């Protein structure tokens, strides 16, 4: 993803210190966090036009944790930029916490951890926090935000000496300064190793338990599976899948792996049966991906086409490829 937007949107809250209740939201934090209706965002015009977001309808309730998934160029970053008010829809309507996105950001209701830019390398982590906090009419103590983001131990470190993962923690701490209702994270764990990734999600889980709405874009289906309640999958600017994590991941697809004997090729058999969705070869074996693996396995064995069969659930990567393939069907699972 590329974005020219600043890396954090600490936002501001009214000087009175009183938050403006979102339309449709009560003090317990219920209501709609994000409401998109027929949102389009086009870049350029004529033959060179790119429909980065192409007619997205999406409603996210407060307190939900939503993973935004999709292959490269699906429109995830552009959609998050729209939610942050960095860019406006070409058409359609979008409200955040019941108000225009820019207003929600200005009121400090939205925090964001984006991928690049925005940090001054000669400042320390704490100096960065203090500088941004000084611009806010109202914020939690810098130390508290650093603590919650797991960045307290690097407070005295120059930004330029922080690793990619540590800089992401600083961005996270900045995003928490105004106690935002909605947290937007664009591939927040990019560049983190396995341990840092795990610690980051534990921290984020704690924030979600405080009742924040969290929307994060990721390429990792495992992260979506481990952390989100709901998956929204985009492809070519459109929302193609939207539903609870378990239902989205349970595509019913399984794999049949076998040693091929023939006659004919696995592809010919796949076409003849009209069953498997994919055929792959690996380490001298053939792997079919299909929904009705029992029927497929029965046919292969009875026709003497293959031996040494194993049937397994499709991996998360296989599910992702399946959902994002050009001929994947569109649908809402809720
Ligand atoms: N400012 C821009 N001008 C022209 N085209 C753009 C602009 N920003 C994004 N695009 C195009 O819009 C499409 C969607 O891009 P976007 O960055 O939103 O996708 P993404 O899902 O975030 O991708 P990735 O996972 O690779 O980061 C891409 O084809 C991209 O090249």
- Interface pTM, i.e. ipTM: 0.97
Number of Cβ within 10 Å of residue 204's Cβ equals 23
Distance 168 CA to ligand 1 centre (A): 21
Q: What is the pLDDT of residue 30?
A: 60
Q: What is the pLDDT of residue 42?
A: 95
Digitized pLDDT (tens) for each residue of the chain, 334 residues in all: 433 333 444 432 333 333 333 333 433 346 899 999 999 999 988 888 999 999 999 999 998 999 999 888 999 999 999 999 999 999 999 999 999 999 998 888 998 888 766 788 899 999 999 999 998 878 999 999 999 888 999 999 999 999 888 888 899 899 999 899 999 998 888 777 888 888 888 888 888 888 889 999 988 888 888 889 999 999 899 998 899 988 887 767 788 999 999 898 998 888 888 876 678 888 889 988 888 888 889 999 999 999 999 998 777 776 777 666 654 444 444 3
Q: What is the pLDDT of residue 272?
A: 84
Report which DSSP code applies to 328.
P
Q: Is 43 in the pocket of ligand 1 (CB under 6 A)?
A: yes
Ligand 1 atom at minimum distance from 71 CA: 25
Domain extent listing, the chain = 32-249, 254-313
- CA 299 – CA 159 distance, rounded (Å): 61
Q: What is the pLDDT of residue 19?
A: 34
Q: Is 74 in the pocket of ligand 1 (CB under 6 A)?
A: yes
Name the CATH architecture for the domain at 254-313.
2-Layer Sandwich (3.30)
| CATH placement of domain 32-249 | 3.40.50.300
Place of tokens 């190793």: 193
Ligand 1 atom at minimum distance from 53 CA: 14
Q: Is 170 in the pocket of ligand 1 (CB under 6 A)?
A: no
Q: Is 76 in the pocket of ligand 1 (CB under 6 A)?
A: yes
Closest C-alpha residue for ligand 1 atom 6 = 43
**What residues are paired with 8 via a beta bridge?**
113
- CA 101 – CA 88 distance, rounded (Å): 9
CA angle 90, 94, 98 (to 5 degrees): 155
Name the nearest CA neighbour of 233 among 122, 321, 116, 125: 321
């Amino acid at each position: 993803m590329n974005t020219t937007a600043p890396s954090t949107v600490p936002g501001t809250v009214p000087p009175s210190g009183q938050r403006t209740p979102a339309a449709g939201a009560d003090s317990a934090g219920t209501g709609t966090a994000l409401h998109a209706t027929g949102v389009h965002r086009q870049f350029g015009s004529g033959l060179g036009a790119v429909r980065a977001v192409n007619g997205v309808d999406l409603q996210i309730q407060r307190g939900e944790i939503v993973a935004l998934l999709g292959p490269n160029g699906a429109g995830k970053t552009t959609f998050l930029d729209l939610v942050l008010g960095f860019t406006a829809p070409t058409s359609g309507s979008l409200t955040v916490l019941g108000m225009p996105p820019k207003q929600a950001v200005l009121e400090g209701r939205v925090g964001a951890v984006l991928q690049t830019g925005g940090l001054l390398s000669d400042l320390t982590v704490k100096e960065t926090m203090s500088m941004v906090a000084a611009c806010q009419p109202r914020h939690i103590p810098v130390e508290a935000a650093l603590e919650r983001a797991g960045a307290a131990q690097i407070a005295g470190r120059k930004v330029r000496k922080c690793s990619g993962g540590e800089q992401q923690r600083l961005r996270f701490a900045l995003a928490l300064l105004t106690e935002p209702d909605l947290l937007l994270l664009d591939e927040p764990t990019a560049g983190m190793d396995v341990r840092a990734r795990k610690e980051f999600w534990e921290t984020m889980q704690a924030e979600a338990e405080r009742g924040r709405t969290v929307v994060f874009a990721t390429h990792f289906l495992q992260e979506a599976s481990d952390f989100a309640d709901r998956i929204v999958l985009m492809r070519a600017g459109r929302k193609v899948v939207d539903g609870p994590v378990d239902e989205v991941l349970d595509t019913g697809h399984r794999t049949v792996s076998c040693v091929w004997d023939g006659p004919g090729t696995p592809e010919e058999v796949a076409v003849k049966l009209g069953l498997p969705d994919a055929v792959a070869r690996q380490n001298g074996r053939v792997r079919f991906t299909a929904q009705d693996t029992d029927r497929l396995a029965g046919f292969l064995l009875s026709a003497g086409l293959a031996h040494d069969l194993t049937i397994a659930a499709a991996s998360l990567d296989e599910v992702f490829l399946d959902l994002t393939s050009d001929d994947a069907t569109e649908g809402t699972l809720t």
